[in-house]
């Protein structure tokens, strides 16, 4: 193939890529690699991106609160029930009573399944290892929701 033909082929490929990049059809959401939880494509409706962003921020803050509390001489949060109450209260305060779970039931169910699988259903005492699992789980929710918000 001559140099002129190679240049023409490259120009044709660049032009084709440019045409497809300018398409009005958004790409299908693809799951983000590397995480245990995938929420991409589960958020629906006109508030989907905002809901995902809010959930990401809320989950990150819950993880930070649980981690910080565990570094105190006398942690306030000592049981699974206390962690769940923190989540409920944070949601109520941040969303002022609105429920993302009602608007995004597929996300709610995916997160519920994920948390039960990772943390179980015990509301009892939490040791350092279990606390770390709670922090990691909420960080993963934050990551997955953040991926979905993009």
Rounded distance between C-alpha atoms, residue 104 and residue 66, angstroms: 25
Model confidence at 4, pLDDT cuts 50, 70, 90, reads: low
Half-sphere exposure of 123 (CA within 13 A, CB side): 5
Instruction: Kindly report, residue by residue over 99-137, the tens digit of the pLDDT.
Output: 888 899 999 999 999 999 999 999 999 999 999 999 999
Instruction: Kindly report, residue by residue over 50-109, the tens digit of the pLDDT.
Output: 999 999 999 999 999 999 999 999 999 999 999 989 988 888 888 888 888 889 999 999
> What is the pLDDT at residue 32?
44
Cα 108 to Cα 19, 51, 121, distances in angstroms: 38, 11, 16
Phi/psi of residue 5, nearest 5 degrees: -65, -40
Q: What per-residue string of b and e applies to 47-85 under the rule 16 or more CB within 10 Å gives b? A: ebeebbbbbbebbbebbebbbebbeeeeeebbebebbee
Rounded distance between C-alpha atoms, residue 128 and residue 33, angstroms: 28
Task: Indicate if the pLDDT at residue 17 is higher than 90.
Answer: no
Rounded distance between C-alpha atoms, residue 5 and residue 55, angstroms: 52
Task: Indicate if the pLDDT at residue 30 is higher than 50.
Answer: no
Of the two residues 19 and 65, the one the predictor is more confident about is 65
Parse the chain into domains and list their residue ranges: 48-149
């Amino acid at each position: 193939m001559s140099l002129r033909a190679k240049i023409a082929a490259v120009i044709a490929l660049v032009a084709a890529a440019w045409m497809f990049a300018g398409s009005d059809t958004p790409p299908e959401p693809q799951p983000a690699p590397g995480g245990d939880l995938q929420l991409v494509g589960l958020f629906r409706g006109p508030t989907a991106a905002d809901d995902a962003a809010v959930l990401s921020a809320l989950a990150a803050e819950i993880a930070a609160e649980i981690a910080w509390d565990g570094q105190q001489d006398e942690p306030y949060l000592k049981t699974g029930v206390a962690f769940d109450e923190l989540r409920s209260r944070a949601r109520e305060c941040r969303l002022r009573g609105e429920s993302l779970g009602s608007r995004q039931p597929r996300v709610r169910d995916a997160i519920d399944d994920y948390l039960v699988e990772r943390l179980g259903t015990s509301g009892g005492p939490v040791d350092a290892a279990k606390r770390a699992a709670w922090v990691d789980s909420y960080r993963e929710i934050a990551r997955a929701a953040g991926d979905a918000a993009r």
